[in-house]
Amino acid sequence: MRRPLAWALAACLSLFSLFAAAQTPPLLLAGTYRADIDPAGYWVSEKYDGVRAVWDGRELRFRSGRPVPAPGWFVAGLPSQALDGELWLGRGRFDALSAIVRKAEPLDAEWRQVKYMVFELPDAPGSFTERIEAMKRIVAASRLPNLRAVEQFRVADRAELARRLDAVVKGGGEGLMLHRAAAAYRTGRSDDLLKLKPYRDAEARVVGHEPGRGRLRGLTGALRMEMPDGRRFRLGAGLGDAERRQPPPVGSLVTYRYQELTPGGLPRFPRYWRVREEF
């Protein structure tokens, strides 16, 4: 009798998870900037290394649809207008941010440091240029110290874009985002929104660990990784001593960086970056 009850409970939990995820509408997704694209027609901003969060006018949710366990005061005063943005601590502080936003019981002192960086108004009318002005008005009217509108700027050409990217990366930033100035709001992936970084990155699952040799004897030498399409590769570069002593467990989703793809579709010179938290 206990087993059917356990199955029923598991099924209920699964249905609840699907329902929660369904509460987040389809999102605007970024493509990758290409050299043949003229950046003059775009607004440009820093690409924040944070955790994406969507405010639907009543609740703040991760991109998965799960509620963000933020303190009540953090969301009190947010507008009825839907917002899309990043929870952010600062450059190079993703791991600390991840630890804060994953806690079921939020700590006020930690959340006081978190900023909600708004970069879009879902389903709002007008061009992106018009939505930028609307975001500024909404943020100013809220008077919330933790709510910020992402700074947007224009560049004249590819050379200026390259200089801006270089400055952000040298300062510890991840890269840039380009948003077509004339674009109406729409979800999905298109050239309306593009990301520009000095490297490429992707995610793959850990399917095994390879023992180290030589100075790495007794530690993990490399991770065996599986890409979403089923192709596999080894990932050893970029692993620190901590990851080699206690590697990401099998099943973990790992973000890695690479230069380009081989003719066979595998990443060339992949380097471990971090475990991808599935919020």
End position of a domain, from candidates 129, 164, 196: 196
Average pLDDT, stretch 185-213? 93
Q: Do 249 and 218 belong together in one domain?
A: yes
Q: What is the C-alpha separation between 202 and 7, in angstroms, rounded? A: 35
DSSP-derived letter for residue 92 is: T
Percent of the chain with pLDDT over 90: 81
Q: Cβ(24)–Cβ(54) under 8 Å?
A: yes
Q: What band does 106 get if pLDDT is binned at 50, 70 and 90?
A: very high
Per-residue pLDDT at 10 exceeds 50: no
Segment 234-279, tens digit of pLDDT: 999 999 999 999 999 999 999 999 988 888 899 999 999 989 876 6
Average pLDDT, stretch 129-152? 97
Structure tokens at 45: 């901003």
Q: Is residue 224 part of a domain?
A: yes
Percent of the chain with pLDDT over 70: 90
Q: Do 138 and 240 belong together in one domain?
A: no
pLDDT on residue 173: 92
Structure tokens at 166: 């270089």
pLDDT on residue 26: 85
Q: Do 222 and 136 belong together in one domain?
A: no
**Where do the DSSP E strands lie in 63-154?**
83-88, 115-120, 147-149
Residue 252 sits in a domain of what CATH number?
2.40.50.140
Q: Do 181 and 252 belong together in one domain?
A: no
47 is catalytic: yes
Residue type, 256: Y
The model's pTM = 0.76
pLDDT on residue 23: 55
Q: Domain count of the chain?
A: 2
CA dihedral (220, 221, 223, 224) in degrees, to 10, reads -120
Q: Do 35 and 48 belong together in one domain?
A: yes
pLDDT on residue 134: 98
Residue 76 sits in a domain of what CATH number?
3.30.470.30
Pairwise pLDDT comparison (95 vs 85), residue with the higher score: 85
Per-residue pLDDT at 8 exceeds 60: no
Q: How many residues does the chain have?
A: 279
pLDDT on residue 24: 57
pLDDT on residue 115: 98
Structure tokens at 106: 């939020």
Q: Which of 47, 115, 136, 195 is catalytic?
A: 47
Q: Do 40 and 171 belong together in one domain?
A: yes
- Quickly list H helices, the chain: 2-22, 72-75, 94-101, 108-111, 128-142, 158-170, 241-245
pLDDT on residue 3: 44
Pairwise pLDDT comparison (260 vs 6), residue with the higher score: 260
Q: Is residue 238 part of a domain?
A: yes
The average confidence (pLDDT) of the chain is: 90
**Phi, psi values for residue 128, rounded to 5°:** -65, -35
Worst-scoring range by mean pLDDT, 89-98, 141-150, 269-278?
269-278
Q: Do 95 and 205 belong together in one domain?
A: no
Average pLDDT, stretch 118-135? 97
Residue type, 11: A
Q: Is residue 60 part of a domain?
A: yes
Segment 40-93, tens digit of pLDDT: 999 999 999 899 999 999 999 998 899 999 999 999 999 999 999 999 999 989
Worst-scoring range by mean pLDDT, 22-26, 27-31, 93-97, 259-263?
22-26
Q: Is residue 21 part of a domain?
A: no
Per-residue pLDDT at 181 exceeds 80: yes
Q: Is residue 5 part of a domain?
A: no
Q: Do 129 and 231 belong together in one domain?
A: no
End position of a domain, from candidates 162, 196, 230: 196
Q: Is residue 259 part of a domain?
A: yes
Domain that holds residue 252: 200-275
Q: Do 128 and 237 belong together in one domain?
A: no
Q: Cβ(30)–Cβ(174) under 8 Å?
A: no
Q: Do 149 and 72 belong together in one domain?
A: yes
End position of a domain, from candidates 161, 196, 231: 196
Per-residue pLDDT at 219 exceeds 60: yes
